[in-house]
Structure 1
Amino acid sequence: MAYCLGFAGYSDSGKTTLIARLLVEMKYRGHRIGVMKHDAHGHYKEVQGADSTVFVERDADVVVTISPNALHVYEKMESPCLEEQLAAYDHLDYIFIEGFKKEKHPKIGVYRTIEQKELLKGLAPSLIAVATDLTNVDDDLALPRLNLNDIRGIADFIEQFFVNCQF
């Protein structure tokens, strides 16, 4: 069973950078990691000129590209469900989720400004910790506070969280 952990924050809060750095650390520790990113505005595009893009542009419902060491799937779907996708990758150790702020999975809130921190307050029920590089900030969220630049410490926290929780 894959442990699912979200990273919630607003634009330029450092979510992508944090996940990218955590990927390296968690892979070093021997974990199999998946990442799912929410494209809430539908901006994702296939690479221009690639064969798979031609098939997508010609309205294929599914395009699967099989390479010696990878599989890329593009599938048209009305209202794709995060839960279904998580189930499909249950063979991994962890799935990191960027975005999907309103879903109920546990999340680490990420912020770099007081304004971004204030916006996170609405997500408090699903937050298990916050990661920030700010110092001298009131801890009014009453959550464990992680140093955004301490990747090992954040990885330790993640591993311990799931060891201690009964899912």
Structure 2
Amino acid sequence: MGVVGHKNAGKTTLTAALVAELVRRGLRVSTLKHTHHAVDLEVPGTDTHRHRMAGAQQVVLATDRRLTLMEEAEAPDIAHLLTRLAPCDVVLAEGWKAGRHPRIEVWRPETERAPLARTDPTILAVAATGDPEVTQPVLDLNDVGRIADWLCSN
């Protein structure tokens, strides 16, 4: 399920709250996060950075408790990213406004922007703090349990 919305609408806050609620219910949850910002997670000069700069397609950094996989990929889409995840019950994909995957929009009147759902019928519901005036179901953004119920039923 995608989580979309305008900047500062609360996408990350809702995504994190849904992860916690779904994990509390015993589900295995993974997330995908899209950003338009230029992000490099490595410090130049570190071993893994040197591996990648030398041309490695994938670099895995492993500790005793965690691993990070860095992979060179040109504009990876959700379908590709899903192939990289371990089996789980729910995947929440935050930030992909475009696509054919099911999505829920986070909307607040304070953003002073019209809901995306008004012009995008592939958005299945809107989690809002006000009345977004859309045809899709509207869920109370402050009721994470109900949003999780809705998500689990779709």
TM-score under structure 2 normalisation? 0.86
Which ranges of 4 or more aligned residues in structure 1 deviate by more than 2 Å?
47-61, 67-71, 87-90, 114-123
Letter in 1 for 2:39: Y
Please give the per-residue CA displacement for 1:130-153, whole angstroms capped at 9, x wherever unaligned.
Answer: 00112xx263x1111111111111
Larger deviation: 29-38 or 109-118?
109-118
**Deviation readout 1:73-95 (Å, 9 max, x if unpaired):** 10111232320221332611011
Q: TM-score, normalised by structure 1?
A: 0.80
Per-residue CA distance 1:33-63 (angstroms, 9 max, x = gap): 1111112x24222143654345445554321
Give the Cα–Cα distance (whole angstroms) in 1 for the partners of residues 132 and 97 of structure 2. Answer: 23
SS in 1 for 2:73: coil
Residue aligning to 1:44: 39
Alignment partner of 1:153 is 2:143: no
Report % sequence identity.
Answer: 32
- Any idea what SS the aligned residue of 1:129 has? strand
Number of residues paired by the alignment? Answer: 152
**Distance between the aligned counterparts of 1:138 and 1:154, measured in 2?**
16
- Structure 1 or 2: more helix by fraction: 1
RMSD, aligned α-carbons: 2.1
Which residue does 2:76 correspond to in 1? 80
Q: Who is 1:14 aligned against? A: 10
